[in-house]
Amino acid sequence: MNGVRVLLIDDEVPYTDALAKRLGRRGLSVMTAGGGAQALEIMAANVFDVILLDIKMAGMDGIKTLSAIKRRHPEVEVVMLTAHANTDIVISSLAMGAFDYVLKPAEVEELVRKIDDAARTKRSNSK
């Protein structure tokens, strides 16, 4: 799905930079943020279809960031990224409105499928 606008939020800069390049090569429009507070600033000035959000981050963690995103931008779909298969946190994030989750390190094709699904859901909910 070309042209899907994605915000990738993760405090692991080398991972974020590499993933953003890979997703960009697949036709996605990707911006990055190094944490929750920075992401909220970026979202105040830009519109996104899908957010990729790491759960474990220094400062404002993924759960707090998800809560703030859903309060301010309820229409955006959020896919949680986690390196730890903590089912309680995953279930909690889904209950808070996350679209889905992916275990890190994720295969790029799996992420692209999740992003496409989330973007389609956002577009169908916007009609």
- Burial of residue 93 (number of CB atoms within 10 Å: 0-12, 13-18, 19+): buried
- pLDDT-based confidence at residue 111 (cuts at 50, 70, 90): very high
Q: What number is the average pLDDT over the span 89-94?
A: 88
Spans of all domains in the chain: 5-126
Q: What's the whole-model pTM score?
A: 0.94
Pairwise CA distance, residues 19 & 79, whole Å: 14
The DSSP annotation for 49-77 comes to SEEEEESS-SSS-HHHHHHHHHHH-TTSE
Question: pLDDT-derived band of residue 105, with 50, 70 and 90 as boundaries?
Answer: confident
| Residue 3 pLDDT exceeds 90 | no
Q: Kindly indicate whether the domain formed by 5-126 is annotated with CATH number 3.40.50.2300.
A: yes
Pairwise CA distance, residues 82 & 65, whole Å: 14
Tokens of 62: 């993924």
